[in-house]
Amino acid sequence: MAKKGRVFSGIRPTGRAHLGNYLGAIQNYVALQDDYECVYCIVDLHALTTVEDTENLRQNTHEMALDLLAAGIRPQETILFVQSHVPEVTELHMILSMVTPLGKLTDLPTFKEKVRQQPDNVNYGLVGYPVLMTADIVLYKADVVPVGIDQAPHIEFARETVRSFNYRYNTHVLIEPQMKNTPVLKVLGIDGKEKMSKSLNNHIELAATPEETTKRVREMVTDPARIKRTDPGNPDICNVFTMHKIFSPQSDVDMVNVECRRAGIGCVECKVLLAKNLNKHLEPLRAKRAEYASKPDLVMDILNDGAKRARVIAQKTMEEVRAAVQLP
Ligand code: TYM
């Protein structure tokens, strides 16, 4: 069947994937494979902007590959690779930086957030992060980019950069990408307040054991107004209920919706039920992950093969880019 176009997305190997990555992006990575030619990248160079101690970078890259394969990335059809294995991206990053006003980068909310998070490590790579991300996307001429809503400023930046490049060099070589979100735009962490992320340690890993998952779910913050077991709760503002709506059968969702409001069910009971349903949902993924984990050479082969296929596309784009820029 003819595909509708090309999809690209990237994920940082900062550790194992968590429910935020999964619900915000990875589920879409998997679904889009049916209709699009997909290219998915573990962005180790991007990880360097925040990770100073690189001792675990290789292991984390491997772990992320396991998570993606376990979630349902099909490496025969989809290209799955590691960013630094296709060095053309760094050349394109450099060329795109010439059409990027510095102020635009330092004004981005994502940059300001990083400055707050790591004031002692505001490195040049951090400023150029969205330029490298744009290079990722346009190197593979992606039409569609599945990401969580936190990446929206970067996709808008990429679109503007494509326009600036094509205008300055009077070309149509680069394609303006479209952002694609999942129904869950922003997954909250177990604190029920902030975006789920590893750096805030408010995350639940896909590959955690059922026991670890249950422990993490039991730590989830619920409706703060519900102090005593006998207080009625408000599921509409409770992150546990949000998760029930994603992972639990409709009968459990309906029951929680009614019983929480009249204190018929306590928060602990509600969370244990969620943990049970979440573990059930993740069971096949974890089994598949264990299978891949037992074959590290196969995973390496998949990533090497992915890089080879990615590089064919990348080299062709770079030939066109160099010609457009009139690099001798
Ligand atoms: P990263 O590694 O932070 O996150 C990977 C994907 O997971 C999504 N995500 C979330 N979605 C909803 N709720 C959350 N709590 C949550 N946490 C993470 C992110 O939106 C993202 O889609 N800059 C990118 C990596 C990147 C990239 C690219 C993406 C590099 N080059 C090119 C697309 C195209 C990032 O930081 O992802």
- Give tens-digit pLDDT for 114-126: 999 999 999 999 9
Q: Is the dihedral of CA 72, 75, 78, 80 positive or negative?
A: positive
**93 ligand 1 Cβ < 6 A:** no
Q: Looking at ligand 1, which residue's alpha carbon is closest to its atom 22? A: 147
Q: Which one has a higher pLDDT value, 225 or 291?
A: 291
Q: Which one has a higher pLDDT value, 99 or 51?
A: 99
Rg (CA), the chain: 21
**151 ligand 1 Cβ < 6 A:** yes
Q: Determine the straight-line distance between the first and last CA of the chain, rounded to whole angstroms.
A: 40
**42 ligand 1 Cβ < 6 A:** no
Residue 111 has pLDDT above 90, yes or no: yes
Cα-to-centroid distance, 10 and ligand 1 (Å):
7
Q: Of all atoms in ligand 1, which is nearest to the CA of residue 187? A: 13
Q: Which helix (H) or strand (E) holds 42?
A: strand 37-42
- Mean pLDDT, rounded, for 132-151: 97
Mean pLDDT score across all residues of the chain: 96
Would you list the domain boundaries of the chain? 6-187+296-325, 210-289
Q: Looking at ligand 1, which residue's alpha carbon is closest to its atom 5? A: 11
Cα-to-centroid distance, 110 and ligand 1 (Å):
12
- Mean pLDDT, rounded, for 130-139: 98
Q: Where does 155-281 show beta strands of DSSP type E?
A: 178-180
Query: How much is the pLDDT for 160?
Result: 98
The answer for residues whose C-beta is within 8 angstroms of residue 269's C-beta and 6 or more apart is none
The conformational region for residue 41 under phi > 0 = left, psi -120 to 50 = alpha, else beta, is beta
Residue 59 has pLDDT above 80, yes or no: yes
**33 ligand 1 Cβ < 6 A:** no
Cα-to-centroid distance, 317 and ligand 1 (Å):
24
Cα-to-centroid distance, 228 and ligand 1 (Å):
38
Backbone phi, psi, residue 151, to 5°: -90, 0
Measured torsion, CA atoms of residues 243, 196, 266, 218, in degrees rounded to the nearest 10:
110
**24 ligand 1 Cβ < 6 A:** yes
Rounded distance between C-alpha atoms, residue 121 and residue 132, angstroms: 18
Q: Of all atoms in ligand 1, which is nearest to the CA of residue 11? A: 2
Cα-to-centroid distance, 58 and ligand 1 (Å):
19
Q: Of all atoms in ligand 1, which is nearest to the CA of residue 203? A: 15
The conformational region for residue 201 under phi > 0 = left, psi -120 to 50 = alpha, else beta, is left
Degrees to nearest 5, angle at CA 137 with 131 and 142 = 155
Query: What confidence category does residue 306 fall into, taking pLDDT thresholds of 50, 70 and 90?
Result: very high
Q: Looking at ligand 1, which residue's alpha carbon is closest to its atom 33? A: 9
- Mean pLDDT, rounded, for 191-210: 96
Q: Which token pair is 114?
A: 């990083």
**7 ligand 1 Cβ < 6 A:** no
Specify whether the CB–CB gap between 82 and 41 falls below 8 A: yes
Backbone phi, psi, residue 79, to 5°: -90, 120
Of the ranges 17-26, 144-153, 221-230, 231-240, which one carries the lowest mean pLDDT score?
A: 221-230
Backbone phi, psi, residue 42, to 5°: -95, 110
Rounded distance between C-alpha atoms, residue 18 and residue 29, angstroms: 15
Cα-to-centroid distance, 146 and ligand 1 (Å):
9
6-187+296-325, CATH topology level: Rossmann fold (3.40.50)
Q: Of all atoms in ligand 1, which is nearest to the CA of residue 195? A: 15
- Homologous superfamily of 210-289: Tyrosyl-Transfer RNA Synthetase (1.10.240.10)
Q: Looking at ligand 1, which residue's alpha carbon is closest to its atom 28? A: 10
Specify whether the CB–CB gap between 155 and 147 falls below 8 A: yes
**43 ligand 1 Cβ < 6 A:** yes
